[in-house]
Structure 1
Amino acid sequence: MANVLKRPRTDLRVAVAGLGPIGTRVVQALDQGIDGLALVAVSAQNPGKHQCWLRHLQTTPAVLPIEALCEAADIVIECAPSRLVRSIVAPFVGNGKTAVVLSAGALLEHDDLIDLARQNRGQIVVPTGALIGLDAVTAAAVGTIHSVRMMTRKPVAGLIGAPYLVENHIDIEHISEPLRIFEGTAREAAKGFPANLNVAVALSLAGIGPDRTTLEIWADPAATRNIHRIEVDSDSARFSMSIENIPSENPKTGRITALSVIAYLRKLGAALRVGT
């Protein structure tokens, strides 16, 4: 049998935009090695703050401004404030590349980015993040979903400063028992709690959309974890799911969010992929 020449595989180049708890964890995982991927660049609002630990990585990535990331990389992981999503995502998807977006709520304000990706064969990926069961929701959405309802319960520290609380003069710092602070749609929650409810937007995008996905948010002074409970009723299944996430160094974000991104990146080059 004649020898078959195998083409050498070129690693996909990855950039990470934002070096908070999530971005830092993703950078460290990439530096430790993920098959088929190479960390080539990072971007941060205060680059000098991160120079010391970046220099101790096995391979030090280039520290670049956001506008230079697209030229350097094939995939960008957005771990930045939501106001920067457009400037990070548009160049990548406009050039047929991939953007992994954690600030999913920003996509509701910039939904033209989805059209831009479609027109240029780019891709926007919203990782599972702090939820479970998005595969089931996505599958149910192939049929007909009748309703999706989510209840979120968070420690007080993870909610303080949310625009909805400020605008409505809701003081939660001195509450002594759980307080329901919001009830409405995922779209409304994304505007009122932009640093907290990207999970609700991801759920809505997987299912019946941000205007039909309903949500309650509770501030709980006794809570130590970010708790999400979801109920879905569809023509193929009725199911409920719950998760209690341990907060990261940023109380607004669960530790599992970064791990979800790392799991997605590992799937890209895996010989076996489990899940839809």
Structure 2
Amino acid sequence: MPNPSRRVAVVGLGPIGRKVVEALDQGIDGLVLAAVSAQDPAKHGDFLAKLKRSPAVLPIDDLFAAADIVIECAPSKLVRSIVIPFVSRGKTAIVLSVGALLENEDLIALARQNGGQIVVPTGALIGLDAVTAAAEGNIQSVRMVTRKPLNGLAGAPYLVENNIDIAGITEPLKIFEGTARDAAKGFPANLNVAVALSLAGLGPDRTTLQIWADPTVTRNVHRVEVESDSARFSMTIENIPSENPKTGRITALSVIAYLRKQGSALRVGT
């Protein structure tokens, strides 16, 4: 007999959440869209009405009873309330606001104790498989340089706290240099990619980062350089922003690709 489908809940119906919901509604082997949660469900009524099969619309606290997997596509302040009910019951939480994990590291221990799992998809970065493989040996350094259009950085706490005005710049401006941990604090909506990179390799305190506000680019550009005892490699990706300029379109596609792997007869990648 075939295995029953695993039930999936999606929290957040912004550009990423909607893409994931649509893919699940169209059909992914072994999975079924069971529930969604949003801050203002009424706002998304028309979107939900167009789905082939209407999921339950539930508050975050009720999702664990309706689903086996939860996908967080929400503001980072909600990560804890989304993840705990799932991993404490041996279920899976897919987290996109990866930076929040650095402030809630106990969630990893909670998942370990209860047989749950926190999944960080590749998202808007490239080469996490290579970094993960290199980390089985010895990595000497991981360095990342990010360049973003100005509207993708607007309102970042680091800019506000340091009175950095990028609105009128006409040339690229380096606005940050430091660790992935500090970048996650200063740019919580922008640098989940840096945190994912750090978790795959040297950790958030040894992964270094530059951030440039660049009026000459229209895409979110990330370049990663890795030195290890198994390989030296560099990778560059230029992500087209989604409707939310802080997030690349490929982020949602990365989640969908991960979900398809779960029931695939051929699984490519680590």
TM-score range, shorter chain: over 0.9
Q: In the TM superposition, what whole-angstrom CA distance separates every residue of 1:89-128 from its partner, at most 9, and x where no partner exists?
A: 0110000000000000000000000000000000000000
User: Which residues in structure 2 correspond to 1:5-154 (within 5 Å)?
Assistant: 7-154=1-148
What letter is aligned with 1:106? A
How far 1:55 sits from its partner (Å)?
1.0
Matched residue count: 270
Q: 1:242 Cα deviation (Å)?
A: 0.3
Match of 1:234 among 225, 228, 236: 228
1:134-158 per-position Cα deviation (integer Å, ceiling 9, x unaligned): 0000000000000000000000000
Name which of 183, 189, 195 aligns with 1:189. 183
Partner SS for 1:13: strand
Q: CA deviation at 1:166?
A: 0.2
1:150-206: per-residue Cα shift (whole Å, max 9, x none)?
A: 000000000000000000000001101100000000000000000000000000000
How well do the aligned residues superpose, as a CA RMSD in angstroms? 0.4
Superposition map of 1:120-269 within 5 A: 120-269=114-263
1:66 deviates by: 0.4
- What SS does the aligned partner of 1:14 have? strand
User: What is the CA–CA distance in structure 1 between the aligned matches of 2:94 and 2:2, rounded to whole Å?
Assistant: 26
Using the alignment, how far apart are the partners of 1:146 and 1:90 within structure 2? 34
Structure 1 residue ranges (4+ consecutive) displaced by more than 3 angstroms after TM superposition:
none
Which structure 1 segments of 5+ residues have no match? 1-6
SS at match of 1:242: strand
Aligned to 1:272: 266
CA distances 1:47-99 after superposition (whole Å, capped 9, x unpaired) = 11001110110001011000001110000000000000000001100000000
Look up the match of 1:3. none
> Rg: which structure is higher?
1
1:19 Cα shift? Answer: 0.6
Counterparts of 2:167 and 2:123 in 1: how far apart (Å)? 27
Quote how far apart the aligned CAs of 1:8 are: 3.4
CA distance in 1, matches of 2:2, 2:145: 49
Equivalents in 2 of 1:121, 1:144: separation in Å?
28
Structure 2, unmatched stretches of 5+, are: none
User: SS at the partner of 1:181?
Assistant: strand
Code of the aligned partner of 2:167: E
The CA distance in 2 between the partners of 1:200 and 1:217, in whole Å, is 10
